[in-house]
Chains A and B, each alone.
Chain A
Amino acid sequence: MSMVEAKQGGLLDSVRSSSWQSRIAVAVVAVLVVVLLFQAAQDPAQFVSQLLVGITNGAIIALIALGYTLVYGIVELINFAHGDNFMLGSFVGLTVLSGTFLGLGFFAPIGGDSGAALQIVGVVFALVAAMAICGLINVGIERIAYKPLRNAPRLAVLITAIGMSFILQNIGLVWKGASQIPFPSLIPDGNALGAFTDALVYRWKDLFIILVTIPLLLALSYFVQRTKQGKAMRAVAQDKEAAAMMGINVDRTIAVTFLLGGILAGAAGVMFGLFNGTTVFNVGFRQGLFAFTAAVLGGIGNLTGAVVGGILIGVIGAMSDQYVGVRWTEIMIFTVLILVLVFRPQGLLGDRSSVQGGGGERT
């Protein structure tokens, strides 16, 4: 009884002491939630389907966002080239599936009419190749463009990152041309839930994305939390000089972080291509921007934040597509971003110093 009273008092107090801006924000969110619930009540199946689509889109965004946030956490740099590395990942996947490289045919193209076993091998091979190559590209970028500038003014590194982004984009343009390139449709478009219900739609494609994303996230989390190299990453993020004194090779640890980010971008690139059906040389800009937004929304430097931010943006996008209109989607996403940042400048899960679990000054 008294506990309940205390709780209510606490709630009332917090309302009383809240600023008028935050009251408006809470009111806006409440209205939106009510509107959505109203829609959900009208056609629950459609709502749930749309929610699942949002989560799927969000998973791809989250994988890319992790690359931004990992790198930011350790060197406080926005790696603008990351989105374009993702694009190259989709190109690598495309090349692997085509069986042809540098004009040499290695095997027949793997497409929708290949045997099931061959399709699976093709997808796995494309994923692995893209992960490896994008990982190495990211390490190369760090080595060539960022490492020499580690003690340079922030602005110099920022411009370098933007420059790197353009370079990768143009490599993509030279490699595959300017038009949309179709991806072989290896993942069936049909409803995975078709055997159970017709009302709910969850395509095999969506399932594929989730089934690849979850193990990747678990592996990443295990790596960062449990392994020696992961601990070294956290230590370097918090204090490079102290980490070096512990015997941690700081340069190598930073390289490993870029490698991880690149691996995730490569996987996301292939998954995006298979899911979306096409890719194009500048797809990294748009997807990269959404992913970067997700990372900031979740709290840049925070790994869980990147996933939460990614899923949130995916879901907001899907809801907006369905209930507001596709043309409004980007406006909705960035409005949410701005609203969140006004009230929580550090992002949803970020802290002030924003390093993945880490304060401490930079060196």
Chain B
Amino acid sequence: MALLEVQDIHSYYGHIHALRGVSLTVEKGEVVTLIGSNGAGKTTTLRSIHGVLTPREGRIVFDGEEIQNVPPHDMIERGIAQSPEGRKIFSRMTVLENLEMGAYHRNDGVGIQQDMDRVFDLFPRLRERTKQEAGTMSGGEQQMLAIGRALMSRPKLLLLDEPSMGLAPVLVERIFQVIREINEQGTTILLVEQNANVALEIASRGYVLETGRVVNAAPAALLRQDPKVREAYLGEV
């Protein structure tokens, strides 16, 4: 059975019908990517999965249980963590405190320390800056912190919303390399990206979202060949 199964969800912002029947599945151990242009509903999909937004229709099954009505603060216990759009780090807390917040629901001091070391191994830059106030770090460092914070819960499913946003090309490469490492260490990943080129390289499958609907779903290699996708999202004519 799939780790995550989203079945025909409809989500709204007030009267705005943002998701008009989105379905997708993520198998255990996979990297799946969600691509689409601005306003397509990628972030809304992640927020619906995470419970920040409750879909008005449809079902979301995670790890064998329906979660569409579970409040967001219970998701971390179930194994879902997110590095959200806009990073949303706690800017007036230190780097260390931010990482501690990522393990807020845990009580196993030793395990937390192990995971912190793992985050520091993935992002050595963060280790140098544990005492720094998070809001004073550079955009790239904040992005690393957001991902590191999400990892601190040892999630089964990691939701990543545009982790390459606003980063220099070298850093983009580094972030994606880390995403691959995280996945190889056993975390399933649902990745939202504008940078479809790279996303389709590390993902096994992809979904293309347009105005709140899934318009294409295929293995990543096939999507990379698809002329429509190439034209719209890979910047080729």
Give me the interface of A with B, judged by CB distance under 8 Å. Answer: 228, 231-232, 234-235, 238-239, 241-250, 355, 357-360
> Whose C-beta in chain B lies nearest to the C-beta of A358?
B92
Of the candidates B73, B76, B92, B149, the one whose C-beta lies within 8 Å of that of A238 is B92
Least Cβ–Cβ distance between B104 and chain A, in angstroms: 5
Instruction: Let me know if B92 and A246 touch, CB within 8 A.
Output: no
Are B90 and A235 touching (Cβ within 8 A)?
Answer: yes
Most chain B CB inside 10 Å of its own CB: which residue of A232, A241, A249: A241
Chain B residues with a Cβ closer than 8 Å to the other chain, count: 27
Decide if A247 touches B77 in the complex (CB within 8 Å): yes
Q: Mark B90-121, 1 if CB is under 8 A from A, else 0.
A: 11110001001110110000000000000000
Contacts of B97 in A (CB 8 A): 231
- Give Cα A312–Cα B19 distance, bound, in whole angstroms: 54
Min CB–CB distance B102 → chain A (angstroms): 6
Tell me, rounded to whole Å, the shortest Cβ–Cβ distance linking B135 to chain A. 6
Q: Is B75 an interface residue (CB 8 A)?
A: yes
Q: Are B84 and A241 in contact (CB under 8 A)?
A: yes
Flag whether B205 is at the interface (Cβ < 8 A).
no
Q: List 15 extra interface pairs beyond A245-B50, A249-B73, CB under 8 A.
A: A231-B101, A235-B93, A235-B101, A241-B72, A242-B88, A245-B75, A245-B81, A245-B82, A245-B88, A246-B149, A247-B104, A358-B90, A358-B91, A360-B88, A360-B91
Q: Is the CB of B91 within 8 A of A245?
A: no
Give Cα A362–Cα B52 distance, bound, in whole angstroms.
14
Q: Is the CB of A238 within 8 A of B105?
A: no
What is the CA–CA distance of A228 and B112 in the complex, to the nearest angstrom? 15
Docked pose: A355 CA to B72 CA in angstroms: 23
Query: Which residues of chain B come closer than 8 Å to A359, judged between CB atoms?
Result: 91-92, 135
Q: B89 in the interface, Cβ–Cβ < 8 Å?
A: yes
Does A247 contact B76, Cβ atoms closer than 8 Å?
yes
Shortest C-beta distance, B106 to chain A (Å), equals: 9
Cα-based distance from A228 to B97 in the complex (angstroms): 11
Is A244 a contact partner of B93 (Cβ separation < 8 A)? no
Assembled-state Cα–Cα distance A231/B92 (Å): 12
B71 interface contact, C-beta 8 A: yes
Q: A241-B84, A244-B72 are in contact. Are A228 and B104 (CB under 8 A)?
A: yes
| A244→B90 contact, CB < 8 A | no
Contact, CB under 8 Å: B93 / A248: no
Known: A244-B73, A245-B81. A232 touches B91 (CB 8 A): no
* Mask: chain B, 51-94; 1 = CB below 8 Å from A; 0 = not: 01000000000000000000111111100011010001111110
Per CB-CB distance, the 7 closest pairs between chain A and chain B, nearest first, are A247-B105, A242-B88, A247-B76, A244-B72, A358-B92, A357-B92, A246-B104
Query: In the bound complex, do residue B89 and residue A248 qualify as a contact, i.e. CB atoms below 8 Å apart?
Result: no
Q: In the complex, what residue of chain B is closest to A241 when comparing beta carbons?
A: B52
